[in-house]
Amino acid sequence: MREARERCGVVGAYLKRSEAVAPYIYRALLALQHRGQESSGIYVASSSGVEGFKGLGFVHEALSGRLEGLRGRCGIGHVRYSTTAGSSLEEAQPFAYEAEGRRFAIAFNGTISNYVELRRELEAEGVRFRTSTDTEVLAALLARSLREAGWDYVEALRLCAERLEGAYSLVALSHSGELYAARDPLGFKPLSLGLGEEELYVAASETCALDTLSCRLMRHVEPGEAVRVYDGGVEVERLRHSPRRARCMFEYVYFARPDSELDGVWVYEARVRIGRELGERFPAEADVVVPVPDSGRAAAQGYSEATGLPLVEGLMKNRYVGRIFIMPGERNRVEMVRVKLNPVKPLVKGRRVALIDDSIVRGTTMKHVVGLLRGAGAREVHVRVSCPPIVSGCYMGIDFPTRRELIASTRSVEEVGRFIGADSLRYNSLEGLVKGIGLPPSELCLACLTGEYPIRAEASVLEREIGGMRRGQR
C-alpha cells in the first residue's frame, strides 16, 4: 500500500467477425481496474461514426448497462487516475476529437513531459482547448499530424513521436474504424498485443487483460513501435528509434498485476526475487514476516524464503473498499487505512514483526499501518521495503511530482523510521532491486531513485511545468 498513484490503463480491440466489440473492451477494463478508479470509458467505430461514453467511478459503476446499442467491430477503452488534471468527466478518457469533418478517439497511459510547450505551440496555431489534460494536447497534435500526413495514421503517429517527450502507451480509433497502438521510444509503460477467438485482436496495458479475454500473447509492443489492426490483418511499423530503454521500475515493484508479464518478465516472480534480495541484504530480528496486502505479499514470500522466518497474514484487507493509494487527497487515504486493513491479533500479539511493503512515498500510510500492529499487541515492528528510497519526482506518469512530498528526500533512513514509529527501517538496495527485476539497469527508468532522468528536459523545468500544473489543478 502506497501513497503513490498510477495513472491509467488502456485497451484497444478489433473483432473481425462481429460488431459486438464493446463487451470485450468492458471485460478487459475490469482486468485493468487496479490502474485507475476515477473514471473509465469506451468508444467504438459504429456505422454512424466514432461514438461512445465515459463515466466516473469503477468500471462497473461507470459503464454497466450502457453497452447495449454500442455496436462496432473496433473500439478502445480506458481507466484513469489523473496526473495532470482533476477528477471530472470532461477530463476522462478516451478523448474524441474532430478535424476536417473526421472524428477519431485516443486514450493513453503516461504523461507528456513537454505538455506545456506543445500546448502553447498549438494554441498559437489557433487551437482552443476545453480541458487542462495532456490527453487533449496529444489529440490535437495527432489531428495536426493527420492533416499533414494526408490522414495516414501511421505516418501521423510518426510525426507525433518526433515531437513528444515523456511516457505514452496509447491506443487510437480511426475515423474509418481501424485500431492503432503505439509505445514511446523509451518504453516507459507496458503495452502488449494478443489474439483470441473470432479473430479478436487486443492491445492492452497488461497481459492480464488478454488472459481475461482468453487471448494468447502475440507480442509485446516494442518501444518506438506502432501497430495497425485492420481488415487486412496486423502491421507493425517503427516510429522512432532510441538506443536506450527506460521501463518504469514501479510497474514491476507495484503497479502491474502480479499475474501479468511485462516485456518478458513475470511480475509475480520479479517481486518474489526482489523480496529475496531484500531478505538476504537486510534480515530482521523478528518472529514472523507480515506483508502489507496486497502490495507486499509477493515480496514477503521472497523475504521469508531468504530469512527462514515464517510468513503469516497478520493484516487482513477489506476487499470491498477502493485502493487507498489512488484515492485523491491525503486525508482520504489516511482515514481509509483503518477501514481497509485490520490486524489478526493472535498472529502478531507479543511477536516481533517484519513488516514488508513495496515502497514508502510520504510515509503517512506506513505510519498508520505500524500503529495498527502496535495496537494489536506486536512487541516490535521492523519495516522492510522492496523499493529503495524515493528521492526524486516522477515526470513520466506517477503522482509524486515534487521532492517536497517525498519523505526520503528530506530525512535520513533513521528519521523516517522514527516518523513511522518502526523499531527499525531498511530499504532495499538499488542493486537488489535491479537484480530482482531481472533486467539490466540500462533498460529501466530509475529516475525517482537516482535523480538521473532519461528524457532531455532538466528536472527543475519538469517540476515547474508538470508539478506546478498538478498542484494548481487538483
Q: Would you call 350 helix, strand, or coil by DSSP?
A: coil
In the CATH hierarchy, which fold is given to the domain comprising 8-243? Answer: Glutamine Phosphoribosylpyrophosphate, subunit 1, domain 1 (3.60.20)
> Cα separation of 235 and 179, whole Å?
11
Q: In the numeric block, which cell numbers belong to residue 188?
A: 516507459
> Cα separation of 340 and 74, whole Å?
38
Distance of CA 330 to the CA centre of its chain: 19
Q: What is the pTM of this model?
A: 0.92
Does 74 qualify as catalytic in the annotation?
no
> Could you say which architecture CATH assigns to the domain 266-443?
3-Layer(aba) Sandwich (3.40)
Q: Domain residues of the chain, as ranges?
A: 8-243, 266-443
Q: Which one from 8, 208, 215, 448 is the annotated catalytic residue?
A: 8
From first to last of its 474 residues, the chain has per-residue pLDDT tens of: 445 555 699 999 999 989 999 999 999 999 999 999 999 999 999 999 999 999 999 999 999 889 988 999 999 999 998 544 456 888 899 999 999 999 999 999 999 999 999 999 999 999 999 999 999 999 999 999 999 999 999 999 999 999 999 999 999 999 999 999 999 999 999 999 999 999 999 999 999 999 999 999 999 999 999 999 999 999 999 999 999 999 999 999 999 999 999 999 999 999 999 999 999 999 999 999 999 999 899 999 999 999 999 999 999 999 887 555 445 556 666 677 888 999 999 999 999 999 999 999 999 999 999 999 999 999 999 999 999 999 998 888 777 657 888 999 999 999 999 999 999 999 999 999 999 999 999 999 999 999 999 987 555 555 555 554 444 333
Strand-pair partners of 216: 195
> Cα separation of 43 and 419, whole Å?
47
**CB distance 179 to 76 below 8 Å:** yes
Q: Which residue has the cell 489534460?
A: 133
**CB distance 361 to 330 below 8 Å:** no
DSSP 58-97: SHHHHHTT--TT--BSEEEEEEE--SSS-S-GGG-SSEEE
For CA atoms 381, 387, 390, 395, give the dihedral sign: negative
Q: 63 — phi, psi (to 5°)?
A: -120, -20
Strand-pair partners of 79: 9, 40
> Cα separation of 111 and 166, whole Å?
6
CB-based contacts of 26, cutoff 8 Å, min separation 6: 42, 59, 63, 67, 77
> Cα separation of 93 and 54, whole Å?
7
> Cα separation of 432 and 280, whole Å?
9
